[in-house]
A and B are shown apart, each in its own frame.
Chain A
Amino acid sequence: MAWGSSSSFPRAILHIDGDAFFAACEVAKDPSLRGKPVITGKERGIVSAATYEAKACGIKRGMILSEVKRICPEAVILPSDYETYSLFSERMYAVVRRYTPAVEEYSIDECFADLTGLRRSLHMSYPQIAKKIKQQLDHELGMTFSIGVSVTKTLAKIGSKWKKPSGLTIISLRDAPQYLKIIPTGAVWGIGPQTSAFLQKFGITTALDFACRDKSWIQAHVSKPFYETWQELNGVMVNELNLTGRETYQSISKTKTFTPPSTDSAFVYAQLSKNVENACIKARRWKLSTPLVFFFLKTQDFHYHGYEVSLPFPTSNPLDILREINIYFPRVFKKSARYRATGVTLINLTEEGTLQLDLFGAVRESEGVKQVFESTDKLAERYGKHVVFLGSSFEAMGNAAHLGERGDVAARASNLFKGETKRRRLAIPMLGSVQ
């Protein structure tokens, strides 16, 4: 591959990454948090996101909160407010779409955008467009973003990581080797510790070592996804932006932790039942049904006990799934154990509608019940989630998931305007009260 290619930007791909996004959303709402170590994830018991001030104290993602309190007693620990984070996320995409319709919503705090060919119509160079986008994002959302601009997604991602927080790094095709020679292979998007260790055996340490190997060596030694990474590091765009958004799921998981841990079989079963209901709601929303489920109970000492259960026919009806789970639940549940979480995964999801009748008429019976769930979905749309639910989920629905301090809910759910309800609120971030 020729590095000295005539054009610096055969393509112009932007990668935008929110800096400590969840924590930054909290700080953007509340000025009293500015400059302080702030952490989200109180309801999970572990750190979801931490501001740079918190990271400076040694706090890392996934750390247990008791550990946080020990090393950084002044840290502000907040429950997650996913509604607000999602509203900010939508705004991030919307700001970028002012410049280009080609935006890939990669995750809640990251997106890719294709700026190729926009220099003339916007009367700006690619770095200028990126700078303008960054200014508007930082200003309108009240938090900082890190941006990378380069010729492929993989290189753009290296750019956005290069300087954090609040960085803007432009990597032209010509300059790319200077960046690649500094970063280790493990820091490249898609290269994990296993592959990194494997490459090390061949004397490949930096991203540039990897990029400089010739094509035949790459094809002989690594699998296709890494060959694509190699191409992208060499400036060849193989990974186009996915502009359609998510179209389907192969599997759907629902897991919920509860505190305090429980030894009560009915309560633990209700938690599982609620997860099954939630998974089915999501499956129905995407018009999918499942032939296979996995369910588990997690004990207080973090051990998982579960079963994979195949269903007599593909379904998105929680009653069909619970009927099968009922056979295995007593085998998994031990009276002597304390449980802290349950979960369920619907596996091998297929489009619903391709219906195969079984011998004993169970499919037809389930079809009749289907209308019931079509109605509950409509009720939920109108009156909010879980306005009606299965009796078996009752014990899990009545109480908040967590008693005690972890039961704190995000402020937005309790500070309502007239006309808002606990279930439905205005789709605009609320900054709190003002005197």
Chain B
Amino acid sequence: MQRPEEKIASFYHKRHRMPSYSELATLLGYKSKGAVAYVVERLISEGVLQKDRTGRLLPGSLAEGVRMLGLVEAGFPSAAEEELLDVMDFDEYLTPNKESSYVLKVKGDSMIDAGIQEGDMVIVERRQTYKPGQIVIASVDGEYTIKYLRKERELYYLEPANVKYKSIYPKDRLTIEAVVTAVVRKY
């Protein structure tokens, strides 16, 4: 059993106009227009229908109500802000410790077997301590070099990732400047 407002909405959407009072009587199954007027007054007070200045009926919330229903059924609601709380942008992803991060441009192929090519951007972090196995930036004779940090019998040295180059053993002291945390290459 349909409610009166649903019957009117259905009429409105089929014919693209509001029904007359006599059509409403047929639609709602009343014999007297007084009964129709009673229902109409109720729907007007609820905002479902409206009347223009000459007394003709206009669709109130009835028109949009149906459309809203269609919208909701059409798919998922748009992305809500809460759903995006747990994502980060590339800045945060690549440089989680922003204040201690720096970039350098790679020259040469000494780290080619580690997948680091000429022209690559390496993102590095200055830290308090560095561990063997990390790819680090060291300064040797006033120049930066990128190599694996290795340790053998309490002695630290730098190892390239390319058989063409030899490992670097420090003469007196080895200064590690930073550790490589990411490599960025744009094509």
A binding-site residues for B, Cβ under 8 Å:
31-34, 91, 94-95, 139-142, 415, 417-419, 426, 428-435
Contacts and interface: CB of A to CB of B under 8 A. Distances in A.
Contacts of A140: 99-100, 126
A426 B95 CA distance: 12
B105 interface: yes
A435 B162 CA distance: 12
A63 B106 CA distance: 37
Contacts of B9: none
B107 A31 contact: no
Nearest to B187: A418
10 closest A-B pairs by beta carbon, nearest first, are: A32-B142, A31-B139, A140-B100, A434-B144, A434-B104, A418-B186, A91-B99, A434-B146, A433-B107, A419-B186
B144 A433 contact: yes
Nearest to A417: B121
Contact of B99 (A34, A94, A417, A418): A94
B105 A95 contact: no
B102 A430 contact: yes
A94 B98 contact: yes
Contacts of B139: 31
Contacts of B106: 433-434
Interface string B134-157: 000101001111100000000000
B103 A31 contact: no
B98 to A, nearest CB: 7
A148 B99 CA distance: 22
Contacts of A31: 139, 142-144, 175, 177
A415 B119 CA distance: 11
A433 B137 CA distance: 11
A321 to B, nearest CB: 39
Nearest to A32: B142
Nearest to B119: A418
A151 B129 CA distance: 35
B36 to A, nearest CB: 59
Interface in B54-101: 95, 98-101
Nearest to A29: B102
B105 A430 contact: yes
Contacts of A94: 98-99
Contacts of A142: 126, 177
Contacts of B107: 433-435
B99 A433 contact: no
A435 B95 contact: no
Given A139-B128, A431-B104, 14 more contacts: A94-B98, A141-B99, A415-B105, A417-B186, A419-B186, A431-B102, A431-B103, A431-B177, A432-B104, A433-B107, A434-B104, A434-B107, A434-B146, A435-B144
B8 interface: no
B122 interface: yes
Contacts of A431: 102-104, 124, 137, 144, 177-178
B14 to A, nearest CB: 50
Given A417-B105, A419-B186, A434 B137 contact: yes
A426 B184 CA distance: 12
A426 B102 CA distance: 10
Nearest to A427: B91
A60 B174 CA distance: 34
B110 interface: yes
Interface in B163-187: 175, 177-178, 186-187
A53 to B, nearest CB: 14
B105 A432 contact: yes
A418 B105 CA distance: 11
B115 interface: no
Contact of A435 (B101, B128, B143): B143
B103 A433 contact: no
Contacts of A430: 102-105
Contacts of A32: 142-143
Contacts of A141: 99
Given A418-B119, A428-B95, A435 B102 contact: no
9 contacts: A31-B175, A31-B177, A91-B98, A428-B102, A429-B102, A430-B105, A432-B144, A434-B107, A434-B144
Most chain B beta-carbon contacts within 10 A, residue among A417, A419, A430, A431: A431
A34 to B, nearest CB: 7
A142 B125 CA distance: 11
Nearest to A430: B103
B122 A434 contact: yes
Most chain A beta-carbon contacts within 10 A, residue among B99, B128, B177: B99
A435 B146 contact: yes
